[in-house]
Each structure stands twice: as structure tokens, then as C-alpha cells.
A and B are shown apart, each in its own frame.
Chain A
Amino acid sequence: MSSSPTRPIDGREVHPFPHRHLTGIAGLQPHEIAFLLDEAEQWVQLNRGTAKHDDRLAGLTLINAFFENSTRTLLSFEIAGKRLGADVVNMAVAASSVKKGETLIDTAVTLNAMRADMIVIRHEASGAVQLIADKVDCPVLNAGDGRHEHPTQALLDALTIRRRKGRIDGLIVAICGDVLHSRVARSNILSLTALGAEVRVVGPPTLLPPAIERMGVTRCTDFDAGLEDADVVMMLRLQRERMAGGFVPSLREYHALYGLTYERLAKAAPDALVMHPGPMNRGVEIASDVADDLERSAITEQVEMGVAVRMACLDVLTRGRRGVAGW
């Protein structure tokens, strides 16, 4: 059933995940992505049971440093850390209240001095997480940096697709909407193409980055054509500040041209899966009835997979410091 990529066999022992940090999907091998997904499966099972607890991270400190507002990702990482027994500290710093610049590195050094065992970072600037990762001793997980990457979102999306469709290889995935400003889109493009999917990006030309084809996807400004025969329709959130005429003329025009309705969805494969990273703008990029259709929409399942994937990442990245044999 599953056609997840196997590790290269050349007689040598290949480490399943030879990375200190998870700053992005870029730089990960297909088999390493698949490894994280495989690891996450056990946590899906645990999370569906009654006693949702494991003690493997007992005694370790997880700091969630969110320089940009977030509700669901922060909560997801907090739950993931707690279910594995870690001591979780949330540092919610609105970007406006923190001075930029050295302060960011100073913050990193401070967190490091507090002997964090894992740091999860979200920041409004592309590359900010890498900047911090270079300065600290513990594993750093990127929870979203600017328009650059949001790797755990891509992993949870891949896990959701793999569980629903039984595979990723060979599927047609349409990523629709504001690709230009989306870190979710970039990480998903990297992971889904690595895992063998055919990826299309669909949206108004003002919201598609130039040279996006160089990431191995096809580009489409006609929503109906972009949806044709798609196995997965992944909608992106349109930021409120992009709606007022700078990138698209208006909300109602955007909905008319690029909003996902049942009528639209009929262009896709009959069993096409609808996804959205949340939070949704109901009636803008997605119609409520489509979003709430339990048969077609995997949106709540994505949230569920998010916790499992983040548990897997926290577990895998701390194996070295926990002295797990072979790590």
C-alpha cells in the first residue's frame, strides 16, 4: 500500500535522521521525511487512546518562543511536548514588543543559557530561525519563519494525505491561493515533490512567486484548470491585509475567482481531499459547506496529525541528548 521512499541501500548503515535541527524541509532526503511520518504514526495511536502520555522527554525543557502571534501551532507544540513528558515553557513575544536585530540573537543566547533542551521558534522574518539555530546548542524546530518554511505543517499535511490516500507518490496536489506569502506552500512543495507527488500551484498571478516552476511545480492562474483531476486540493489562507486592493481587488472577487465551492471541487478527482492549514476565512478562499464536509475535508484531521507529527519531531531531535542507542 504505502510507497514511502526507502533508505538508500549501499551496504552502509544510513542514519535515519542525521540533522540537529528542523529548520525546513529543504535539505531533507525523501526517506528522512518518510521516517518522521512513520514515527508519527505511533503518536496518532497514543493520542487516540485515553491515557495520552509518554515519559520519554521527562526532565527536558521545551521552550516555545513565538515572536509572531499563533494560537494553534503554539498549542499544538505545547500539547506535543506535554504528552511526551517535557517541561514546556511558552514565551509569547509579539514581534512589535521585541526589538529586532541583536536582540534576536541575544534572545537566542539567553534561551541557550537557560539550558533549554529544545526550542521551537516562530518569527515573522524569513531566515530568522536559522539565525537562532546557528547560535544555540540544542535542537531548534522551525514553527514558521516569514514566507520561508513551516516544516511541521508540511509533515502533518503529508501524514494526513498518506493516511487518507494510502500514498503520496503519483498524486496530483493543487496548492491554491496566496502562494507568494505562504511558508506553508513552500514547505509543502518541497516535501510533496520529494515524496513523488505532482504539485500545481494555483492562484492569481499577483500571488504566485516568479520562478516557482523552478521548485518543480506547474503554475496555473485558472482555478478550474488547476483543479482538474487533482487528488488533493490544498487551500491557503488569504491574509486580510492582502485583500484590500494591493494584490486582489476585493474579497468577493477573490471568492468568485479562487474560492473553493462544491461547483469548483467537481473539477477535481471525484474523491479529492480538501485541506486547509487554518485558520480559515470562510466564504473567502473556501466555502463553509466544503470546509465542513467530513467526507471531503481533512481539515480537522490535519490538526490532529499536527500534534502527532510534532511529538515525532521532538522525540527524534532529542534522541542524541537522551542517549538513545545509535543517536
Chain B
Amino acid sequence: MVGALAITGGRLVTPQGLINGGVLVRDGRIAAIGGFDVPADAEWVDAKGALIAPGLIDVGVFAVDRPAFVAGGITRVVLMPDGGQPIETAALVQHAAAAGKPKVWVHPLAAATRGLAGGELAEVGLMREVGACGVATGRTWIADSGVMYRLLAYAASLGLRTVSHAEDGGLAGDAVMTDGETATRLGLAAAPAEAEALAVARDLLLAEVTGAPLHFRQVTTARSLDLIRAAKRRGLPVSCGITPAHLFLADNAVTGFRTFARLSPPLRDESDRQACLAAIADGTIDLICSGHDPQGPEAKRLPFADAEEGMAGAETLLTLGLMLVRDGLIGFERLFDLLATAPARLFGLPGGALKVDGEADLVIVDPDAPWRIESDRMAAAAGNTPFDGLPVQGRVVRTIKGGVPIS
């Protein structure tokens, strides 16, 4: 039995805005919010004016990197099926779900197809039975439209949302960047940004035919966002996410062959980046995720095209998100909707909001604390951040999972 925990003197981030007060936690659940009398048996924490917010829920990570998640205020992760061996059986789902204990809740996504080869459907029904919270195509799209069509229909019948990687593999080919001046100057293989919209358009049509809930893990171009905006207007159950990298960096961040900026999908041009910011502001984008994928020097200290894709993003997710608030694009309540509430809603997870009797996954954040992102001082398994050297503000003071402070 976990004792009570009383956090007072903070600013609560609720859907209605900021409220001065605190949170009382008992037996792993939120017992009271706002003002309350601190019980005698409770451990007492003074938030000293910091934000008290729901713990972050990070959709689509590739590794269970506990120190990074704790440092980033992330209490739940939705795990991609292809961090290592494809998560394609019930046993592998159970194994993956236990990997975060005791510091972080892990909700695996089931591999959509066997071996993630894009051919035969994997046993998504059996995987759902043991806790898979959705199905995912992995790091690539499913090229065969027939397979994708059947997958969407099948997953929907099980109540599972399909997580798709929006990139037309034929058009993308061996590209490592988006077509543009930077790719041309560096002599790197590049593909048109439309490779994404092509895949989004197809998957939206298939989602419309099947009525299946569909989530695009990352959407990064103006055209794709227009398609999703229109689909939402038609009432389709579609959602999409983005990482801070695509909100704050454009393809010129690769200049000098910086492999830490080798991402999938690749960084886009400045106009697409602006369109992504606009889509955050107008609500087209549902969630912000870290895409956490730590890659050590053996995978990154290589010629650009030979280096692995991906970034270690977990511990910088919140601080970069706070930049959106500081820039006046969104408020705190929208930020934590993007980082916690919407992910919980879309994938049917506990937590994600401060409400009485809700799961006590909390984060205490000093939104102004200054620090510098430094690749060689990261808590993550590897320091491959494209934001290396960037001065930022906003730091996690404490991460609380199930009512227990985690360190």
C-alpha cells in the first residue's frame, strides 16, 4: 500500500486552464485537486509555484529507455513494434509491457503484419487480449493497399487504432533527405516531400471505406496536414502526431552532414515547418511525441547515408513543447492535451489528465528553469539529439507514476 502524497502550492494544468492549488494522491489515484487539507499521514511536497500537470504519454517510442522517460516527465509510453525484434506475438507483447517496470508504464503496439513485412496480418486479436493498445505498421508503410485495407478493417473490429507510417516507399526509395537546396548541395539522395501526402491520401481513403480509426505517427508537410484537416472535417476518426524536431528544425539542420538530424521522415523545408506550427495552433495535429530512438556513435558516427535514422527525444520533449507556449502559439492546457490527454484518449489509456479518481501519473515542472541540451550529458541510452547545444527553458522537477515519485 502506497501512502498519501500531498503536493501543494503549485499551478495545476487542467483542461480549463491553470488553477492555483495542489493535488492529493492516495493509493495511486488522485484523491483531491485544487485546495484540500493535507492529511497528517501524507508525505508533503511544496511545488513552489511550479506547474503540476499530468504525466506525459509518449506515443511511438522505439526503446524502453527508463532514465530518459523519467527525466522527461514521461509516465507512459506507447511502444512501437519494431524497436528490436518485431512485437508480433502475445508473448512478446507481455514481455514488452513489463519492460518499463517500475518506472514507466509501457503500452505496446502490435505489429500489423508478420515480421512487419507488410504481407500477412499478425495475430493482432491475441495481442490485444494481453494489452496491445493499437496496431502499427512500424518504421515503413504497408505498400500493398489490399493489405492495408484488410488491416484497417480487422483492427477496427477489435477496437484498435492503426498507427501508420506515412511515407510512400516507392517514391521515397533510398532517399535520406527531402528534396531541396540542402540535399542538392550536400549530394544526398532525396525524395519529394509529397511521398508523405501520397501515403496519407491513400490511408485516409482506406480509413474512410472501412471506418477504421487511424493515427499517423508523424505528419510533417503542409499537404498531408491539409488532407488530414479535410478528413477531420468530414468526421473521419483520424489523428496525427509530430515530433518537436519537425516543429523547430528544417532540412538545413543537416548542413555539415549532421547525422543527429537524420530522421524518418526526414526534416522538411521551412514552409512545411511553418505549416506544422499552424496545424498545432488550429488543432489539426492531435499529439506531440518524442519519437525516442536512441542510437549510439556506432550507428551515428558514419557517413550521413549510412547512419541510422532517429533521435533521442524523450527528455527534451517537454522543454521543447514549452517553447510553443513561450512563443504564444498555444497555452499550457493545449500543450498538455497534446502531450498527455489526447494520447490517453486516442489509445484508451489511463491517466493523461488531472481528475479526481484518475491515475496519479503526475509531473511537476518548473517552466522557466534554464538549461542547455547537451548530447553528452543526456540521461538517455544515447545522446543523439538534433538539438545539441540549444539553450532551453523548462525542466521536470519530479515525475510521479502511480502516486510514487520516480527517480
Contact = CB atoms under 8 A, between A and B. Distances in A.
A15 interface: no
Interface in A119-136: 123, 125-128, 130-131
Contact of B184 (A125, A127, A149, A209): A209
Which of B180, B190, B256, B301 has its CB near the most chain A CB atoms (within 10 A)?
Answer: B301
Interface stretch (B303-311, B336-344, B379-387): B303-311
Contacts of B183: 209, 211
B298 interface: yes
Contacts of B184: 186, 209-212, 214-215
Interface in B181-201: 181, 183-190, 192
A105 interface: yes
Interface stretch (A58-66, A96-104, A319-327): A96-104
A183 interface: yes
B376 to A, nearest CB: 16
B303 A131 contact: yes
A128 B297 CA distance: 15
A284 to B, nearest CB: 22
Given A102-B301, A123-B303, A127-B257, A210 B185 contact: no
Contacts of B257: 126-127, 130-131
A128 B188 CA distance: 12
Contacts of B181: 211, 214-215
Interface in B106-164: none
A148 interface: yes
Given A127-B257, A131-B257, A105 B187 contact: no
B187 A101 contact: no
A236 B303 CA distance: 25
A196 interface: no
A125 B306 contact: yes
B190 to A, nearest CB: 7
Interface in A147-163: 147-149
B303 to A, nearest CB: 3
B302 A146 contact: no
A102 B189 CA distance: 22
A211 B187 contact: no
B185 A127 contact: no
B272 interface: no
A100 B303 CA distance: 9
A26 interface: yes
Interface residues of B, number: 22
Nearest to A131: B303
Interface in B286-322: 297-298, 301-306
Nearest to A129: B303
Nearest to A125: B303
Which of B183, B184, B192 has its CB near the most chain A CB atoms (within 10 A)?
Answer: B184
B120 to A, nearest CB: 30
A104 B187 contact: no
Contacts of A147: 187-189
Contact of A215 (B185, B188, B192, B306): B185
Contacts of B186: 126-127, 148
B179 interface: yes
Contacts of A186: 184-185, 187
A211 B180 contact: yes
Which of B185, B187, B302, B304 has its CB near the most chain A CB atoms (within 10 A)?
Answer: B187
B298 A101 contact: yes
Interface of A: 26, 100-102, 104-105, 123, 125-128, 130-131, 145-149, 183, 186, 209-212, 214-215
Interface of B: 179-181, 183-190, 192, 256-257, 297-298, 301-306
